[in-house]
Amino acid sequence: MDGRVIAFGTLPNCKRVGKMSKTITDLIFEVFITMEDHLDWDKHITYAELSEQIDDDSRQQWISALQFLRLEFGDDFLRLNNSHHPIFRMVTDKSPWRIAEIIKFAVTLIQLKSTDINYRHLKDKLIHPGSCKTEGIPFFEISHMYLDTGCDVKVWKDIKAQKNPDLVIGFPETNEKLYIEVSKVGESKLRSDLDNNFKVISRLFNIAPPQLPFSCQLLRYISDSEMDGVLASITAIREKALLQQDMILLENEVMRLCVTHPNKYGQFQEWMEKNDYRNGLHGPPLNFDETYRILNYKIEREMEQIPAGSSGMIYLHVHALYFSVIDPEIITAAFEKKMSTYPLLFGIVIYSTIITDCSPFEVAINGHFFSTRKINETVVRYFFFLKNPAYSHGLSDNAIARIYQSFRSSSGN
């Protein structure tokens, strides 16, 4: 591979080695014979070379993207990581939307590498799975939006004892700068605790004997001090159902549980239908409205990193279900009130991505902007920009137009 090509910000040229008429499944089993093969860059490149699921131009870009990422992250990257790492998933998943994603990812990194002297700081954030999820991928997503509109993008180099924004956007025509703070709104402690509850109880049902049909609805969070007693109750009910060859019910403040012997499975199905229960384990309702956390903790913390006297924006990556539980009018008023105390804050972006299908939608009113947009054939981006009515620093009309243009970019079309 010619390193000089990469230095100029283009993907290296690759030669396709052959073409075969095979189904995706046939080709996967032909190329990836052992589990170890999935950790071999050469195998993934070979698969791309032989694949017929995309057109020739896209295949060439796919091969080039794989070769570039191999060069950047090393031959051992796949062996040192697993499906918890976003880049590992990009490489190993052969879905068409993943192929489009990895191409866009590589092209964006190449562009940043050729123009940003601080690129290695982004690369460092991409290597570790934790920082890749919380910083690396969000940095890439936002960088792509602005690069797509012709802006300059710089990753900020952290310096102790000074303000450290995440990204600096440059507007070439006016020499203005916009400082961006990026943050992923992680799971609340309660949601994390409920998830841990679910995993512990799920292991009991799925691994420990006796294996019997059941329906279990958890009703609330179970503390560590309660968990042993709850597990013992579940085990006792399962053993009773097996011993008595019957359907056994348990209902208390923690859960509603029904376990049945296979001989009573028909009765069990009738009971579930009559009581509107579902087979398997189900957790309690979750609250995905993160507005309180954002308004009372996130904004102040992120604004502390915007340099004094400079225009700033905050980008917050949230769970996709946040957009299903909020009232846009209510949160707009709440955010406007909070932002009004920060006159250098141009606005806040709340966004998320999800695998779903929907019609594109866009609305702009009073400077606010909301859209649902397909970024490829499978993935949809929810995007909500809330403009600060008290912003007073005075970005030029040209710079503001570029910002709004970035909101509409990255459609993948």
pLDDT in tens, 277-320: 889 999 887 778 889 889 988 899 999 999 999 999 999 999 88
Q: 174-207: string of b/e by CB count within 10 Å (b at 16+)? A: eebbbbbbbbebeebeebeebeebbeebeeebee
Q: Model's pTM, two decimal places?
A: 0.76
Average pLDDT over residues 182-211: 85
Residue 327 has pLDDT above 50, yes or no: yes
What amino acid occupies position 382? Y
Choose among 403, 395, 347, 387: nearest CA to 176.
395
- Give the pLDDT of residue 312: 96
Specify whether the CB–CB gap between 302 and 138 falls below 8 A.
no
- Give the pLDDT of residue 9: 43
User: Range with the lowest mean pLDDT among 3-7, 49-53, 310-314, 327-331?
Assistant: 3-7
Average pLDDT over residues 330-340: 96
Specify whether the CB–CB gap between 245 and 261 falls below 8 A.
yes
Choose among 291, 411, 393: nearest CA to 347.
393
- Give the pLDDT of residue 188: 67
Classify residue 5 by burial, with Cβ atoms within 10 Å: 0-12, 13-18, 19+.
middle
- Give the pLDDT of residue 1: 38
- Give the pLDDT of residue 3: 38
Q: What is the largest CA-CA distance in the chain?
A: 80
Q: What is the mean pLDDT of the chain?
A: 88
3-state secondary structure of 153: strand
- Cβ neighbors of 201 (< 8 A, separation 6 or more) are 216, 218, 230, 231, 234, 281
Alpha carbon distance 45, 75 (integer Å):
13
Q: Which has more pLDDT, 242 or 184?
A: 242
Q: How long is the chain?
A: 413
Average pLDDT over residues 186-203: 82
Average pLDDT over residues 239-256: 94
Q: How confident is the model at residue 265 (pLDDT cuts 50, 70, 90)?
A: very high
pLDDT in tens, 132-181: 998 999 999 999 999 999 999 999 877 665 678 999 999 999 999 999 99
Residue 13 has pLDDT above 50, yes or no: no
CA distances from 215 to 162, 194, 229, 265, 277 (A): 55, 18, 19, 12, 7
CA 334 remoteness from chain centre: 26
* Residue 57, token pair as written in the block: 């131009």
pLDDT in tens, 79-126: 999 999 999 999 999 988 899 999 999 999 999 999 888 899 999 999
Residue 21 has pLDDT above 80, yes or no: no
Share of the chain above pLDDT 90, in %: 67
